[in-house]
């Protein structure tokens, strides 16, 4: 994995990219062909996003020396 992101601006960029990825997956789904596995994957993506938001909220900003 990459190194931890402490800069709030970078965190917002990361979250925005992940949300856009989620929206792309959602937009690409055909409602007639969507199954339980697809919905489970969407829920998993949202859970991962929520976890990342919680992690970012708990981190203290990096301090410069």
SS3 for 34?
A: coil
Task: Specify if 43 maps to a domain.
Answer: yes
Per-residue pLDDT tens for 16-61?
A: 999 999 999 999 999 999 999 999 999 999 999 999 999 999 887 6
Task: Specify if 27 maps to a domain.
Answer: yes
Task: Specify if 63 maps to a domain.
Answer: no
Task: Specify if 39 maps to a domain.
Answer: yes
pTM: 0.75
In whole angstroms, what is the distance from residue 65 CA to residue 62 CA? Answer: 10
State the helix-helix crossing angle for 8-28 and 36-58, rounded to 10 degrees.
170
Task: Specify if 23 maps to a domain.
Answer: yes
DSSP per position, 35-50: -HHHHHHHHHHHHHHH
Our count of domains for the chain comes to 1
Task: Specify if 65 maps to a domain.
Answer: no
Calculate the alpha carbon distances from 26 to 7, 9, 44, 58 in Å: 29, 26, 13, 29
Do 9 and 64 contact (CB within 8 A), yes or no? no
Which domain covers residue 54, as residue numbers?
8-58
Task: Specify if 17 maps to a domain.
Answer: yes
């Amino acid at each position: 994995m990459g190194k931890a992101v402490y800069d709030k601006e970078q965190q917002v960029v990361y979250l925005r990219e992940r949300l856009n990825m989620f929206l792309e997956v959602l937009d690409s789904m055909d409602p007639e062909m969507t199954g339980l596995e697809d919905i489970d994957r969407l829920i998993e993506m949202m859970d991962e996003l929520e976890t990342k938001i919680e992690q970012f909220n708990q981190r203290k900003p990096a301090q410069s020396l």
